Every structure is written in structure tokens, then in C-alpha cells.
Structure 1
Amino acid sequence: MPRFIAPVALAVAASLALAGCSSNPGNDSPSASEAQEPTAAPATGVTIEGSGYAFVAPEGWEVPADFSLPGADVIVADLTDSDGFADNVNVFLSPAGELTPERVESMGVVELEGAGATEVTVRERIAVSGSESPHISAGLSSNDADYLIEQYYVTQDGQTYVVTFSFSPTVSQPDRDELSESVLATWDWA
């Protein structure tokens, strides 16, 4: 089985560092209608249900058996990935509740770089099921494995969901964007 356990844990640890950043209710952010809509065709795999949301995984991806990631609400991976790293997506609920896009974009870069991430880039926001989601890309390394993340922060009813897609460095930016957006295009609130 391709490895993904340790690299996923570091990416999530970096995202959870944002827990100390509370939202600023008085800060007016643009509406989701101003964010870019996903342009990829919706994913067609199995439906994954989490705490208050559901999404469709990419075709062939599945929940790993006998594996848990402490604190993760959901983890789904391509267990047939042949390059030695199982591309995956995990979702964590922010312990701080709601995080504003501005807070994520300012503090997220600092937190990810503090966790050893490289090439941390704030990307264009994306609309996910009525939520304007910040998008941060970065490179990480853990246990001799280099990988890339596309991280989104989707908010609903006072809760931010940190959605992290982790990829082998062989996956191009356009392919990472397409796969991530194909899943986010299916995001639905339960």
C-alpha cells in the first residue's frame, strides 16, 4: 500500500495551528458569489458523509481500513496509487469554530511556514456550497516523503471545515486543482 499516514498528519497539524485564530465577527468579507466557482466536472466515486456535510470522492478512492487520523472527521485516499504516495483528502473541524477568509489568508501562511511548509501560496478563493473558501497551496516533507497540499477552509453555521488534499510531487498544479475542485463541486451540507 502506498504511504500516506505520516505526511497527512503533518499537513493536518499545520492546519490545526489555525485553531488559535478566532473569527472576527465585525469583519465583512465578500460573499461566496464573488469567489470562483469550481470548474471541474463533479467527482463520481462513493459518497462520504462527515459531521454536517457530505461529498463525493474521486472514482476509486476509499476510506482506509484499520486507519484513523487523530482528530480527523474524514479521510479518503487513492489506495491504488502506484507512485508510492497515496493521494488523499482529509477533513478536520476547526476547534476555534468559524475562521474568516482574511484570518486564514494572513495567519495560514505563517502557520504553515512555521510547520516547515515551503512555497506557501494564497490562491484565489473558491465558492463551495455557498461558502467562500480560502485556498492555500504548499509543499511539505515528512518521514522522507515530499508532498504537496491544496487546503480549503469551508464555513457553515459558525464552523470552519479544513479540507486538505495531499498529493505526490509528480501531480501537476492543474491536475491537483481539477481533482480538488471535482470533490468540492459535490460538497453538500447535511
Structure 2
Amino acid sequence: MTARPRTPARRATSAALPFVLSALVLSGCGVLGSTSAEPSTTPSPTEQALPAGNPTDGLDVQGTGYSLTTPPGWEETTDEVQQRYHQVDASAGDTAVTGGFADNVNVIVSDKRRIKSQQKAERILARELRLVGRRVEVQEPGELDGEVAYHATARLKVGHLKVRTSQYFAKHGRTWYLVTFSYGPQTDEESEAEEVQSMLDSWQWSD
């Protein structure tokens, strides 16, 4: 008997998997401390304003075809995260957090996407975030070293903690890069905005 061809619906589901996995990283590996504990009352480095001027005062993270610089006090967590999610290319977080949710960034790299419009890119971001979060909103695009970065935000629950997440989706050459920032309740939104923008500004393509 002749095998039936895969349907378009199945292809769409398969193509979406890297983005679902990215969101799962937020709710799983993002928790470096215990989720059963209350958020730490000790201020973490992410609660403090960034130094004025050069955003390269933090940790340099080298990924596949790019690099970025995290806030001071963060550490690279790529090896730890890849043990559970091999699709993640690079990750880093505020390992000073001893309870609750550790602020973090992770990057997924994919050369299998064929996206030709802003509308489709933003629809993909919103659809995948709705699978794991709420209050999903498409935002004005940002930039990664000269490339347009489509942008969406959402709120997640990790245990009893409320987490804010922001994703940027950019193409360089023939490759797409999904950059996900996640912040816990111990960090105020103003500090989060400063740190995320600093990381975006520090992004550099290496090819």
C-alpha cells in the first residue's frame, strides 16, 4: 500500500517545535534555584542599574555566528541547558539567585525556516508564546547588529512565580536566530528593559 504523504498541518507542527522548546527552556532550565522557595530577598546583580556607557562590561558569550554580552554578575549556562535541550545554542543567567527564578537569556539557531514577511514572523512568535504563556503581545521590531528583529512579549507562571519573557526573531544570511530573555519578580521592569537593551546593543555577527 502506498504511504500517505505528510499533510501541511503536520509540517507546520514540526516546524514550530524549536520555538516551543525555547519557551520550555524558560519555564524549566531558567529556574536555577528552587521554585518552591520564595524569591530571594537579597538583591541580585540584575536589580542594580547597569554602569553607564560601554555595555561590554559583563560576560561575553560566543554562539554560532554571533556573540553577545550579558549584564555584570551573569554566568554562562550553555552546558547545563544543553543537557536538557540540545536545540539551545547558547545561554546565560543570573546564577546569584538562590531561590525563585534566575533571569536568563537563551538563543536557538535554525537554518530551516522559510519566512518572507514580517507578518508571518510575528505570527509565529505570537502563536508559539501562546502555547506556554499569556498576555502575549507583538511589539515594535528591534535590531540585532543591523538586522531587523521581530519582537513579542508574554507572561508565564513558573511554579507560583510570575515571569516576564521577551523574544526577538532575526534573520542573518539564511539563518534565523530566536533570542529569548526571561526575568523573574525579583528584578524590576526598568532594570529589565535596560539589561535587555544592553544585550541587544552588544550583539555582533561573527560571519
Q: Which has the larger radius of gyration?
A: 2
Seen in structure 2, the aligned counterparts of structure 1 residues 121 and 141 have a Cα distance that, compared at 3 Å, is: same
- Matched with 1:116 is 132
Q: State the shift of 1:82 in Å.
A: 5.3
The amino acid that maps onto 1:139 is R
Matches within 5 A, 1:154-165: 154-165=170-181
- With CA pairs under 8 Å and 6+ residues apart, which has the higher RCO, 1 or 2? 1
Matched, 1:49 2:62: yes
Q: Partner of 2:80: helix, strand, or coil?
A: coil
Q: Which range moved further: 148-157 or 91-100? A: 91-100
Match among 73, 76, 92 for residue 63 of structure 1: 76
Seen in structure 2, the aligned counterparts of structure 1 residues 11 and 84 have a Cα distance that, compared at 3 Å, is: farther
Q: State the shift of 1:144 in Å.
A: 4.1
Unaligned segments of structure 1, at least 5 residues: 1-8, 16-39
Match among 145, 167, 179 for residue 183 of structure 2: 167
Matches within 5 A, 1:107-186: 107-113=124-130, 115-186=131-202
Q: State the shift of 1:66 in Å.
A: 5.8
Deviations 1:3-51 (A, max 9, x none): xxxxxx9771469xxxxxxxxxxxxxxxxxxxxxxxx962421211000
Distance in 2 (CA, whole Å) between partners of 1:178 and 1:154 is 20
* TM-score, reference length from structure 1: 0.72
Unaligned segments of structure 2, at least 5 residues: 1-18, 26-52
Q: State the shift of 1:95 in Å.
A: 5.3
The 8 Å contact of residues 140 and 151 in structure 2, kept in 1 or not, is answered as: yes
Distance in 1 (CA, whole Å) between partners of 2:154 and 2:191 is 15
- Matched with 2:106 is 90
Q: State the shift of 1:111 in Å.
A: 2.3
The 8 Å contact of residues 23 and 129 in structure 2, kept in 1 or not, is answered as: no
Q: Partner of 2:58: helix, strand, or coil?
A: coil
Distance in 2 (CA, whole Å) between partners of 1:144 and 1:79 is 20
Q: Partner of 2:73: helix, strand, or coil?
A: coil
Distance in 1 (CA, whole Å) between partners of 2:112 and 2:97 is 34
Aligned residues: 157
Indicate the structure with greater helix content.
2
Match among 120, 145, 168 for residue 103 of structure 1: 120
Distance in 2 (CA, whole Å) between partners of 1:131 and 1:56 is 17
Indicate the percent of aligned positions where both proteins have the same amino acid.
29
Distance in 1 (CA, whole Å) between partners of 2:132 and 2:127 is 10
Seen in structure 2, the aligned counterparts of structure 1 residues 86 and 177 have a Cα distance that, compared at 3 Å, is: same
Q: Partner of 1:80: helix, strand, or coil?
A: coil
